[in-house]
Structure 1
Amino acid sequence: MDFGAYDHYFYAVVALLGTVAAAWFLLWVTLRSPWAEEIRTYRGMSPPFLGVVGVLFALTLAFLANDTWNAHDRALNAVHQEGDALRSIKALAAPLPQASRRAVEAAVADYARITVEEEWPLLARRLSSQEAADRLDALLALLSGEEISLTSQPATHALMLTQVTQVRVARSMRIALSRTHVNPLKWLGMAGLGFLTMISIAMVHVDQARAEILAVAIFAAAAAPTAAIVLVQGNPFQPPTVITDAPIRALVPS
């Protein structure tokens, strides 16, 4: 397995195990370690202090989650725009002479077939298909050729060229989004804030062992799965939320 293509799954496991390890270590230090008595002398931290670090942690995680959801939405929009542009090309080609119309429809279907059969599985591995790129170039060459330009209205021809350009832009967008990687520095900063929040929780309850254990456990149970859920959705073309190829597959002749 190519680690570079599935790194977000690895980071999700690190987030889960790291949070559990950090919680266990912090509880051991404050309750069972040789320094536990010394640490208890710092009792008296005001509970509202938790809001200072906790809000920073929550905002950081929210921003990272927002980046992930935005990437998913942008990928979905790119796929739908690509499919809509291809359908528009077919519709605009309807008034053309039969030979030209069939050539355009065949080129559109050919590109759609290669995209869904060959390129779509590659997106999960952060790759793209050169064959799909060649078929798209062939479609562009056909639409910009003399035969189409002479047999179509100037406005219609210009619109077809605009639509095929839109296909290229949308394809480039979905490929770029499939190659998005986890930014370790962003997540390291979030992990640091999470650990500081956990320390704050422990120090607020440092003289109440059972309350401290419960509070730290609740925070870990809330933070770790949330971070893992965000991380595993780092690539819109990998499980658990895979962008569908239906808008383009609909153009492949059955």
Structure 2
Amino acid sequence: MSDWLHNLSVPWMAIVVFGFTYFLAMLVFMAVAALSTKARTASFKSISAGLLPVLGVIFGLFVAFTAAQVWSASEHAATAVSREASALRAVILLAGGLPPEQEARLRSLVHDHVEEAVAVEWPMMARQKASLKAAPAALTEALRLVISMPVQSPGQQTAQREIITALDTALDARRQRLILSQSEVNSIKWWCLYIQAVCELLAIALIHCDNRLGSAIAMGLFATGVATSALLIAAHDRPFTGQISIAPTPLLQIMPDKG
């Protein structure tokens, strides 16, 4: 689905999705109404009403499978951001066991990483342009600093080991959020979802072709359900894009002061 739709606010996205779905329903209704001559009405009416629940169940399964992908990606993305923030918070706390100069340097590097993640990486993730090619400069330098740091006591040795582990966790969590920023429902799934919806709308229109008002009401109700499902999926489709997206709040909460 295109970027402009994902970047809309939820009310405007609802207008677009509902408008498109109702437009499809209207086209189906008008096409069947135009074809429903006296000669064809009997043939249309011969279609079994038992077809409707079958098509509805298939549509429901499409929605469930698509929504499961969206919820899973969103949940994993939120978890990755929380893991990164927790790991960086551990680095800040463990840095207290280091000499003052190294502690200040480490806190400054964590600050720089959070600042870059919020100002640079988040907008790139929203546009699905974030890449794993470039390593985070601040975290990479922090890792080199800690590894090359001479330890003078068992306590500093323990702190060094734990900081390295926490930095590795933060780097892995960052990789995960960058990968998950590319997640979205592909166009084939959207096509299949709406083709199945059109099949159901067509079946409703054909079965109720002799009752225009009843057909319009039934098709309107089903179209509303389709639009609601599509809106729910589209609003959460990309974890880091749109009004309902994952914000860098956990990282900002643990961001240390610039040393």
CA shift, 1:238, in A, is: 2.1
Q: State how 1:180-199 maps to structure 2 within 5 Å.
A: 180-199=183-202
After the TM superposition, which of the residue ranges 42-51 and 186-195 deviates more from structure 2?
A: 42-51
Which residue, 239, 242, 245 being the options, matches 1:242? 245
Structure 2 CA distance, aligned partners of 1:15 and 1:204? Answer: 26
After the TM superposition, which of the residue ranges 50-59 and 138-147 deviates more from structure 2?
A: 138-147
TM-score (norm. length: structure 1)? 0.85
Aligned-partner SS, 1:118: helix
Q: How big is each residue's C-alpha offset from its partner over 1:160-206, in whole Å with a ceiling of 9 and x where there is no partner?
A: 22211111111111111222243111111111111111122223322
Q: In the alignment, is the contact (CA less than 8 A) between 2:235 and 2:244 conserved in 1?
A: no
In the alignment, which residue of structure 2 is the partner of 1:27?
29
Structure 1 CA distance, aligned partners of 2:129 and 2:107? Answer: 27
Q: Which amino acid aligns with 2:211?
A: Q
Root mean square deviation of aligned Cα: 2.9
In the alignment, which residue of structure 2 is the partner of 1:226?
229
Structure 2 CA distance, aligned partners of 1:65 and 1:184? Answer: 14
Structure 1 CA distance, aligned partners of 2:19 and 2:151? Answer: 60
Distance 1:149 1:179, change over 3 A: farther
Q: State how 1:1-254 maps to structure 2 within 5 Å.
A: 5-6=3-4, 8=6, 16-33=18-35, 35-42=36-43, 43-128=45-130, 133-147=136-150, 152-250=155-253, 251-253=255-257
After the TM superposition, which of the residue ranges 84-93 and 116-125 deviates more from structure 2?
A: 116-125
Percent identity of paired positions between Structure 1 and Structure 2: 26
Structure 2 CA distance, aligned partners of 1:216 and 1:149? Answer: 76
Which segments of 5 or more consecutive residues in structure 1 lack a partner in the other structure?
none
After the TM superposition, which of the residue ranges 79-88 and 208-217 deviates more from structure 2?
A: 208-217
Q: Which amino acid aligns with 1:102?
A: A
TM-score (norm. length: structure 2)? 0.84
CA shift, 1:156, in A, is: 3.5
Q: Which amino acid aligns with 1:217?
A: G
Structure 1 CA distance, aligned partners of 2:165 and 2:143? Answer: 10
Q: Which amino acid aligns with 1:101?
A: E
Structure 1 CA distance, aligned partners of 2:75 and 2:215? Answer: 40
After the TM superposition, which of the residue ranges 36-45 and 75-84 deviates more from structure 2?
A: 36-45
CA shift, 1:148, in A, is: 5.5
Which segments of 5 or more consecutive residues in structure 2 lack a partner in the other structure?
none
Structure 1 CA distance, aligned partners of 2:40 and 2:28? Answer: 11
Q: Which amino acid aligns with 1:73?
A: E
After the TM superposition, which of the residue ranges 49-58 and 65-74 deviates more from structure 2?
A: 65-74
CA shift, 1:82, in A, is: 0.4
After the TM superposition, which of the residue ranges 161-170 and 100-109 deviates more from structure 2?
A: 100-109
Aligned-partner SS, 2:172: helix
